[in-house]
């Protein structure tokens, strides 16, 4: 129980530091939300600063914002006609979540399957092919692999739509683009974990007792072999979440990533803070789940 409580305290601390650092960075950055090519009248600028508390000291601004955020008020967008930030997030978050969920499922299915096959036939042609493809998957960035998939599946084969957001088929190519680098990493981690387990004494004992290969892999070896994948699962979900910013731009998906990029360019302070907090909460929760899963699979880590 102490292990789980310590992880939760650590997660809350990380979120507090993330919100604080982000607040200070966007406030200290040059420019402001009301900076335009044609300068506003001084009286108008002063009124806007007073309305949003920008005329107060930065620590006072921080205190006001954190109090509002803890009560669920993330403020309003300074560039989208005072539209509530929470409303913008609720509108644009589902496409990003669907994209990330499909991507992580594809990455696990492809990566774990390839890693298991490679571990069963080490140093064979199958092993070399799987690991060679995994190197290519890790090396190619999304802005290269995405257009290649669009060209092959949409332009030549006409199987899938090029871009847009409508049904599940619109999400397949961007999800595959997002999943392949992580599937490659999962494959390498799964291979190393399975090879380590398959060479242990209890596996040899199970083989000598006549345990069938399928049961040997799924019941005896998989629990220990998948530990490296589970330990990387939290950071992978975090990377998939932040990596969707590029993929959403390539495939014209109206997700939260596009809003985050535009808000940063526009100095939309409250929208930047809101999206960072939402992403931070999501990433911290995923890391907590990953740590708890690892602790369940390997109880030894609870002692540290």
Query: How many alpha carbons fall within 13 Å on the CB side of residue 9?
Result: 6
- E strands, 186-230, where? none
Q: What is the pLDDT of residue 37?
A: 47
Q: Kindly report, residue by residue over 3-45, the tens digit of the pLDDT.
A: 677 778 888 888 889 888 888 888 777 766 666 545 556 676 7
Residue 143 has pLDDT above 60, yes or no: yes
d(Cα 165, Cα 169) in Å, to the nearest integer? 9
Q: What is the pTM of this model?
A: 0.75
Q: What single DSSP character describes residue 218? A: I
Is pLDDT larger for residue 27 or for residue 104? 104
End-to-end CA distance of the chain: 12
All structural domains of the chain with their residue ranges: 93-303
- Token pair 């609720």: residue: 90
Q: Kindly report, residue by residue over 49-100, the tens digit of the pLDDT.
A: 787 777 788 888 888 888 888 888 888 887 777 788 888 888 888 888 888 8
Q: Give the C-alpha distances (Å, rounded to integers) separating 207 from 29, 196, 221.
A: 63, 16, 12
Residues in the chain: 304
Q: Residues 218-236: what's their mean pLDDT?
A: 78
The secondary structure element, H or E, covering residue 147 is: helix 142-149
Q: Which CATH superfamily is domain 93-303 in?
A: MetI-like (1.10.3720.10)
d(Cα 161, Cα 172) in Å, to the nearest integer? 9
Q: Residues 198-226: what's their mean pLDDT?
A: 77
- Flag the least confident range among 106-110, 116-120, 226-230: 226-230
d(Cα 194, Cα 51) in Å, to the nearest integer? 60
- What is the DSSP secondary-structure string of 77-139? -TTTTT-BHHHHHHHHHHHHHHHHHHHHHHHHHHHHHHHHHHHHSTTSHHHHHHHHHHHHHHH
Mapped onto helix, strand or coil, the DSSP state of residue 76 is: strand
d(Cα 84, Cα 235) in Å, to the nearest integer? 30
**Percent of the chain residues past pLDDT 70, beyond the cut:** 91
With cut-offs at 50, 70 and 90, classify the pLDDT of residue 302: low
Q: Residues 243-265: what's their mean pLDDT?
A: 78
**Percent of the chain residues past pLDDT 90, beyond the cut:** 1
CB 249 within 8 A of CB 261: yes
């Amino acid at each position: 129980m102490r292990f789980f409580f310590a992880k939760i305290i650590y997660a809350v601390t990380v979120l507090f530091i993330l919100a604080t650092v982000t607040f200070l960075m966007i406030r200290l950055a040059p420019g402001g939300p009301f900076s335009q090519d044609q300068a506003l009248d001084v009286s108008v600028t002063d009124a806007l600063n007073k309305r949003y508390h920008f005329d107060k000291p930065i620590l006072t601004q921080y205190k006001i914002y954190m109090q509002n955020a803890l009560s669920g008020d993330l403020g309003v967008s300074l560039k989208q006609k005072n539209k509530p930030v929470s409303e913008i997030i609720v509108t644009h978050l589902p496409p990003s979540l669907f994209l990330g969920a499909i991507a992580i499922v594809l990455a696990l299915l492809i990566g774990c399957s390839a890693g298991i096959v490679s571990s069963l036939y080490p140093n064979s042609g199958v092993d070399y092919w799987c690991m060679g493809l995994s190197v290519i998957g890790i090396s190619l960035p999304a802005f290269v692999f995405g257009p290649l998939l669009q060209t092959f599946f949409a332009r030549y084969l006409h199987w899938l739509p090029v871009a847009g957001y409508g049904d599940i088929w619109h999400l397949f190519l961007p999800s595959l683009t997002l999943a392949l680098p992580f599937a490659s990493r999962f494959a390498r981690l799964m291979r190393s974990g399975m090879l380590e387990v398959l060479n242990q004494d209890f596996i040899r004992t199970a083989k000598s007792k006549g345990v069938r290969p399928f049961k040997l892999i799924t019941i005896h070896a998989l629990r220990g072999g998948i530990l490296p994948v589970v330990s990387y699962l939290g950071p992978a979900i975090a990377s998939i979440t932040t990596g969707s910013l590029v993929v959403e731009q390539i495939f014209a998906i109206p997700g939260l990533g596009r809003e985050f990029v535009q808000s940063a360019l526009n100095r939309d302070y409250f929208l930047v803070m809101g999206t960072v907090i939402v992403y931070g909460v999501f990433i911290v929760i995923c890391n907590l789940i990953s740590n708890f899963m690892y602790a369940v699979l390997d109880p030894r880590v609870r002692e540290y």
